[in-house]
Chain A
Amino acid sequence: MFALEFPPIENLVIWPAYFGEDTIFEFNKIALISLLALLIPSVLFVLAKKDMVPRGLQNVVESTIEFVENQVIMAAIGPDGMRFLPLLMSIFLFVFFGNIFEVIPTFHMPANARMANPAFLAVVVWVTFIWVGAKTNGVRYFVDIIWPPSVPVALRPLVGLIEFISVFILRPFGLAVRLFANLLAGHILLVTFGVLCITLWQTSWLAAILPFSFGMLVALTGFEVMVSFLQAFVFALLAAVYIDSSLHAHH
């Protein structure tokens, strides 16, 4: 029949540098997308006016803040979590704008499909929740995890080991891998249907099923927009849940 010619998988990892090749200032497409993901929300927030009656851009910005306040902070931490609004807001917006470049023409690559971005964000969250836990509960925060007082003494070493691994190792790992794998899978899915469309276009009679493949590509693009938003939301929500578990460790 016909064979699909996929671009080599190395294309995901190796990007031509725009400038500064082989130095620490090497700047490629992923760096450009990350930079845009930082600049676009910052510029939008600076441009928004601070009127009493919001109009236009101010509406968008204020409803974004309200979304993070209500759906992330109030849902996961409560009123005393409002001091983490800047952190969670930045994480949410950076992840979202890094993701959404997956479906923007000429970019077509989510910055978070490279492990560096999610891993760094996960480390930020990791440091934050350990810092918050140590600051609120002192040494007891670590002791309660390694030697949990609510468990029978005979089981404490086992439960403590499991808790230690799950809190300090699996949490950041899961946070990073979830974002990375979701975006990479979405990108590969879009590439697969794109390649399928091109191949069908080039074959003579098989072009009859091209509309279905193209319709699937369009539908998946819409799906990926949803995934981009949902993953940003889930990342911020999980960060809030982890901070809450350090803040309210005794409940």
Chain B
Amino acid sequence: MSVIATAADVIELAVDATTDGDAQNVAAATGAGMAYGLAAIGPGIGIGYLVGQAVQAMARQPEAAGQVQTTMFLGIAFTEALALIGFVVFILLKFA
């Protein structure tokens, strides 16, 4: 909680000090870092859960391993997309 509050303070300070030339860069860099960091939380949990369940399924039914693996990659691809959109936002905020 305190980390988020501190980061929000930094953005506020940076936005307030519009006279400073660096302020905008600071805000962009902070926002970019937070965008990617927050975007990585959900997919991280999701992929961990997904692969864990897939491993369990494969251990219980080794003969279905091929099918489970294909479905697992599909699920990973869908879950991972959210983190990657966060990465694209990072690039846009930082460099655009």
Contact = CB atoms under 8 A, between A and B. Distances in A.
Nearest to B94: A9
Contacts of A237: 70, 73-74, 77
Given A9-B95, A75-B67, A178-B80, A241 B74 contact: yes
Interface stretch (A39-47, A181-189, A209-217): A181-189
Contacts of B74: 234, 237-238, 241
A182 B82 CA distance: 12
A32 interface: no
A71 B80 CA distance: 20
Interface string A160-177: 000000000000001001
A234 B73 contact: yes
A195 to B, nearest CB: 16
A126 interface: no
Given A9-B95, A75-B67, A184-B91, A177 B73 contact: no
Interface residues of A, number: 18
Contacts of B70: 71, 75-76, 237
A241 B71 CA distance: 11
B15 interface: no
B77 A234 contact: yes
Main secondary structure of the interface of A (DSSP, over half): helix
B70, B88, B95: most-surrounded residue (chain A CB, <10 A): B70
Nearest to A76: B70
Interface string B6-18: 0000000000000
A185 B87 CA distance: 8
Contacts of A241: 74
Contacts of A181: 84-85, 87-88
Given A184-B91, A237-B73, A238-B77, A178 B67 contact: no
Say whether chain B's binding surface is mostly helix, strand, loop, or mixed: helix
Contacts of B57: none
Contacts of B38: none
A230 interface: yes
Contacts of B66: 71, 75
Contact of B88 (A9, A76, A177, A233): A177
Nearest to B80: A178
Interface in B20-55: none
A176 to B, nearest CB: 11
B73 A233 contact: yes
Contacts of B76: 234
A120 B84 CA distance: 19
Contacts of A174: 78, 81
Contacts of B73: 230, 233-234, 237
Interface of A: 9, 71, 75-76, 174, 177-178, 180-182, 184-185, 230, 233-234, 237-238, 241
15 contacts: A9-B91, A177-B85, A178-B80, A178-B81, A178-B84, A181-B84, A181-B87, A185-B87, A230-B73, A233-B73, A234-B76, A234-B77, A237-B70, A238-B77, A241-B74
List the 5 closest pairs (A to B, CB-CB), nearest first: A181-B84, A75-B70, A234-B77, A9-B95, A174-B81
